[in-house]
Amino acid sequence: MARFPEGFLWGASTAAHQVEGNNTNSDFWLMENLEGSVFKEPSGSAVDHYNRFKSDITEMARLGLNSYRFSIEWARIEPEEGQFEASEIEHYREVLLACKENKITPIVTLHHFSSPQWLIRLGGWESADTPARFARYCAHVMRELGELIPYVCTINEANISIGIKKIMKRYALKSGSPGAQVGMNMENMAEKMQKYFMGLSKAFGVPPTEVHSFLAPRSEEGLAVIFQAHVEARAAIRQISPQTKVGVTLSLYDIQSVPGGEENARDAWQEEFVQFVPYLNEDDFFGLQNYTRAVYGPDGLLPVPDDAETTQMGNEFYPEALGAVVRYVSTHLKMPIMITENGIATDDDTRRIAFINQALKGVQDCITDGFQVLGYMHWSLMDNFEWQLGFSKTFGLIEVDRNTQERTTKPSGIHLGEIAKENAI
Ligand code: BGC
């Protein structure tokens, strides 16, 4: 493979709730542990990254990776509104220092799906007060830790509700094609949902229709709340920590069409990406997350073809999507792109290696053609909690035995590290 540019960031991503364990003040903790929960299992101690971060980061460095994207958990930093937990700031300071000691560039996400329970009680991601609350938390983190943070993603997959809406519609129609790129448990959804929302309503103390956690369908106003939260957080971060580069991440399919489906594909790009461009124009970089493609025909989204290779998530194995999405977003955004997530859930690690090779080939071609790509963060550093689908999906470069929490690096982890080392200047 041709060389990547000097300073290219090679790494992997995680999210606090999926790996740390015992995120007890978060909305997800409450949703997972509720009777009749739609979650296949609770996150529990997850993969104990909260206690094992030092050895996990050391292992990344040993492999040859030079970057780590992880998230800081709002529910830990601000467990009750306005009460900031100093010991949790110290925890993340240690994580950032472990990165520094290992010459790993940290890319910090300030919100990766989970929120403090109090935020949901106050209207969650549909409340017009949420942007200011989010910006206040971001300001606090940056005041304390900003000097250790070179890159920050305010919100992970700010557009994910669109994919969720689509997947719900499709399950209602009983077809099986890609929807939201995240673990959603859709079995007997309608009945389960009604009961579940009654339980949630009781637990959060708000009416069943007012439980607005992040991974949910959303109104137009709710979408604006999320992007406004990004804009306000960006301003707060810049004021406190001007040297930190700020961006947001979006979940993006490589949207394609067969003859007759062109208009549907155009609408999908508009809905999933283009409509948000005005909120992103002043960012320092764009966080691109891609896992597969979505193909549109004259009647809408086409199912994954029967003969296609699929992943544990039911996605088509299609690593070519990454380069195509880099090219598409670059036509709308004049800023460097950071690939903040890309990967597959599989128990056949040889397919992960093939996926990485093909995806990187696409990125390399983009760079050769003059597109500016800052780095590649594979999802995920290790097998972890795939939201409503529990621990059943294995996305990791590192395997974790949850009985012992013992880690075993997979050949794909060694492989990505080798590529990083070959390209190190
Ligand atoms: C999310 C991750 C998730 C991954 C795999 C992304 O949508 O950011 O949290 O685990 O996809 O589904």
Residue with the nearest Cα to atom 5 of ligand 1? 182
Report which protein residue has its CA nearest ligand 1's atom 3: 182
Question: What residue owns the CA closest to ligand 1's atom 10?
Answer: 386
345 CA: nearest ligand 1 atom: 5
Substitution site in 73, 352, 379, 394 for ligand 1 pocket (most atoms within 8 Å of beta carbon) = 379
Q: Indicate whether residue 272 lines ligand 1 (CB < 6 A).
A: no
According to the model, what pLDDT value does residue 310 have? 98
pLDDT of residue 194: 82
214 lines ligand 1 (CB under 6 A): no
Task: Please tell me the predicted confidence (pLDDT) of residue 243.
Answer: 98
pLDDT the model gives residue 47? 99
Q: Which CATH architecture has domain 9-424?
A: Alpha-Beta Barrel (3.20)
How close is the Cα of 109 to the center of ligand 1, in Å?
13
Q: Is the pTM of this model over 0.85?
A: yes
- Residue 373 Cβ inside 6 Å of ligand 1? The answer reads no
pLDDT single digits (tens) 75-100: 999 999 999 999 999 999 999 999 99
Q: What is the pLDDT of residue 180?
A: 67
Q: What residues does each domain of the chain span? A: 9-424
Query: How much distance in Å is there from the Cα of 113 to the middle of ligand 1?
Result: 9
How far is the centre of ligand 1, averaged over its atoms, from the C-alpha of 162 (Å)? 14
**Ligand 1 mean position, distance from CA 182 (Å):** 5
Cβ neighbours of 311 (radius 10 Å): 22
Report CA(28)–ligand 1 centroid distance (Å): 15
Nearest alpha-carbon partner for 337 in 243, 211, 249 = 249
- CB 383 near ligand 1, within 6 Å: no
Question: Which of 340, 341, 383 for mutating ligand 1's site (highest number of atoms within 8 Å of CB)?
Answer: 341
pLDDT tens digits, 401-414: 999 999 999 999 99
The closest residue, in CA terms, to atom 2 on ligand 1 is 182
pLDDT in tens, the chain (425 residues): 568 999 999 999 999 999 999 999 999 999 999 998 999 999 999 999 999 999 999 999 999 999 999 999 999 999 999 999 999 999 999 999 999 999 999 999 999 999 999 999 999 999 999 999 999 999 999 999 999 999 999 999 999 999 998 887 776 654 444 556 677 777 666 777 788 889 999 999 999 999 999 998 899 999 999 999 999 999 999 999 999 999 999 999 999 999 999 999 999 999 999 999 999 999 999 999 999 999 999 999 999 999 999 999 999 999 999 999 999 999 999 999 999 999 999 999 999 999 999 999 999 999 999 999 999 999 999 999 999 999 999 999 999 999 999 999 999 999 999 999 999 86
- Ligand 1 midpoint to CA 131 (Å): 23
What is the predicted pLDDT for the residue at 125? 98
The predicted pLDDT at position 274 comes to: 98
